[in-house]
Amino acid sequence: MTAAGWMRRFEPTRSRPFDLAARVHVLRRAVFAHPTSWLRATQNASPSEVAAWLVNGEAPDSRERRVLARRDAILALDDVDATAAWLWSRLLTAQHPLRARMMLFWHDHFATAISKVRSCAWMVEQFDVFERFGLGSFRDLLERVSSGPAMLRWLDAESNRRGNANENFARELFELFTLGRGNYSEEDVREAARAFTGWRILRGRGHFDERLHDHGPKRVLGRDDIERGHDVLNLICGSQQHARFIAERLLRTFVGPDHPEGAIDDLARVYRDADGRIDRTLEVLLASEVVHDPRARNTRVRSPAAFAIWILRTLGLEVAPVPLHRAVARMGQELLEPPDVSGWAGEEAWLSSATWLARVRFATDLGRAADPLFPTPPLGRCIRGHGPERELDALIDLLFPEATTMGERVNLLARAVGEVRGSRDVRLAGTFTSLVLLPRAHRF
């Protein structure tokens, strides 16, 4: 595996140690949260060992198995909110947090909205594909997603027929899923659309119908040996530009919007050497110089999902999933309903007056007793210590373990202190709310 340039392994030094702050950073970037148990599991590990721990994950525990066992009951309801809430439960109980995080990543990448798909089962099937193939070969993932009923419906595959190609899927395939704008021509879109003719949905599954397929010659990206959609996917996935495109997406996600330009080619090389396998690519990336560069820290805006997962998993709070789903939707990230096929705009676009007030409300709701979100166990039982100072200290230890210097902690406390009066629960709620409304709680 060539891991050169920005992808070379981060070797800690005296001046750049792999300390708690560094570990917290990589956990936040990779899986949003850093509960004490994860910090303990990665204690004394090298950067590569942490990356391997993330990529390998752990087997479902009893809690996760209980959530997964609800599948049939949830699908029987065929209710959008219940389905989204159940997916939230999966994300929050996953013992392979990186796999769960990649489900969200692919949901953003292959952004499909239930308002058009109109089938909870098909959306769940797509999430299952994200879960099962999301850390495997991108080529396999792409093929499964493309031929799943959710995507076929979402991008009008059913009206893409011989003699009258519908370009919707072919265009987004090039533009948003694999190559990026400017790397194909309008002619390529038209021709590729013909290669995908024949796909339709039969009894809830993707089905290729030979009779509806356009068997004529097609020329895509300069190649004449294209017959079916399959050939287009192979052609794209083998291309240099595709590797760069995926590398850029991963860098934007795990390093931030301002990643070094040269890192794209370095990561593209890793991706190609890994035969397009996401797990092997991420294992290199997460242990690499570019992810561990101190300049990469705190450069991203926490998405609503990242914000919620950070708080809930780090503190070990359990909340009712339906209100949680609605709360995250109010913050601007409605699961199963991305704004369009390009996914969520992300970064600064998360920050508006309306979504900020939703963040305030979420933080407030988590702290108060009479709310439907009301966490079990409540905040009070997740936080050790009694008395304003110990409670504050315990909260800071959990949420901002990287704040290790006196100055930093004084600053956090000074900005955070709410009321010191009232019962322990009222106090904790106030302190918690003010801590998670600090600007630094909204970047990672």
Partner 1 sequence: MDENHDDKRGDERGIRCNRREVLAGALALPMLPCGFRAPGFLQEPAPAARSKNLVVIELAGGNDAINTVVPHSDPEYARARPTLAIRRGLHPIDERVSLHPALARLSALHAANEAATLLGVGYPDPDRSHFRSMDIWQSGRTDVEDPRLGVFGLAADVLHRRGATLPAIALGISKRPLGLAGRSFVAPALTTLVEHRLELGDVVPELEHARERALDDRTEPDVGDDALDRLIKKTARQAYGSARTLRQLAAKRPGGGTAATFEAACALAADVLTSSIGVRIVWLRLSGFDTHAGQARVHGPLLAELDRGIGTLRDMLDRGGAWQTTRVVVFSEFGRRVAENRSRGTDHGAAGHVFLIGRGLRSGVHGDVPSLVDLERGDLRHAFDFRRLYAELLESWLDVPPLDAGVRAPASRFLT
Residues 323-342 that bind partner 1 (CB under 8 A): 330, 332, 334, 339-342
201: which strand partners? 206
Q: Who contacts 127 (Cβ-Cβ below 8 Å, separation ≥6)?
A: 87, 90, 103, 107
357 belongs to the binding site for partner 1 (CB under 8 A): yes
* Amino acid at the residue 256: G
Q: What H or E segment, with its residue span, contains residue 290?
A: helix 289-292
What's the number of CA atoms in the CB half-sphere (13 Å) around residue 106?
A: 26
63 belongs to the binding site for partner 1 (CB under 8 A): no
- Supply 305's token pair: 């999902």
Q: Considering CB under 8 A, how many residues would be counted as binding partner 1?
A: 89
252 belongs to the binding site for partner 1 (CB under 8 A): no
The Cα–Cα gap between 217 and 88 comes to 45
349 belongs to the binding site for partner 1 (CB under 8 A): yes
443 belongs to the binding site for partner 1 (CB under 8 A): yes
Span from 138-146, 267-275, 305-313, 352-360 in contact with partner 1 (CB under 8 A): 352-360
**Closest approach of Cβ 1 to partner 1, in Å?**
31
- Supply 357's token pair: 């007030």
When the beta carbons of 143 and 167 are compared against partner 1, the nearer one is 167
- Supply 29's token pair: 């970037």
When the beta carbons of 239 and 298 are compared against partner 1, the nearer one is 298
When the beta carbons of 75 and 413 are compared against partner 1, the nearer one is 413
Site for partner 1 in 182-241 (CB under 8 A): 186
When the beta carbons of 2 and 352 are compared against partner 1, the nearer one is 352
In contact, 325 and 335? CB cutoff 8 Å: yes
When the beta carbons of 1 and 349 are compared against partner 1, the nearer one is 349
**Closest approach of Cβ 130 to partner 1, in Å?**
22
**Closest approach of Cβ 265 to partner 1, in Å?**
19
Span from 57-65, 156-164, 209-217, 247-255 in contact with partner 1 (CB under 8 A): 156-164
Site for partner 1 in 15-34 (CB under 8 A): 19-20
Picking from 12, 20, 30, 25, the residue whose alpha carbon sits closest to that of residue 285 is: 30
In contact, 309 and 28? CB cutoff 8 Å: no
The Cα–Cα gap between 72 and 53 comes to 31
Strand spans (E) along 347-419:
none
In contact, 46 and 18? CB cutoff 8 Å: yes
DSSP-derived 3-state class of residue 6: helix
When the beta carbons of 320 and 394 are compared against partner 1, the nearer one is 394
**Closest approach of Cβ 18 to partner 1, in Å?**
11
**Closest approach of Cβ 113 to partner 1, in Å?**
11
Site for partner 1 in 291-330 (CB under 8 A): 298-299, 301, 315-316, 330
Site for partner 1 in 388-427 (CB under 8 A): 388-390, 392-394, 397-398, 401, 404-406, 409-411, 413-420
The Cα–Cα gap between 295 and 389 comes to 32
Tell me 173's DSSP state: I
When the beta carbons of 75 and 438 are compared against partner 1, the nearer one is 438
376 belongs to the binding site for partner 1 (CB under 8 A): no
DSSP-derived 3-state class of residue 264: helix
The single residue among 62, 370, 376, 423 that binds partner 1, judged by CB under 8 A, is 370
The single residue among 308, 365, 373, 400 that binds partner 1, judged by CB under 8 A, is 365
Q: What is the DSSP string of 42-81?
A: TTT--HHHHHHHHHH-----HHHHHHHTTHHHHHHHT-HH
**Closest approach of Cβ 237 to partner 1, in Å?**
21
Picking from 326, 439, 429, the residue whose alpha carbon sits closest to that of residue 88 is: 326
**Closest approach of Cβ 273 to partner 1, in Å?**
29
When the beta carbons of 353 and 376 are compared against partner 1, the nearer one is 353
The Cα–Cα gap between 82 and 109 comes to 23
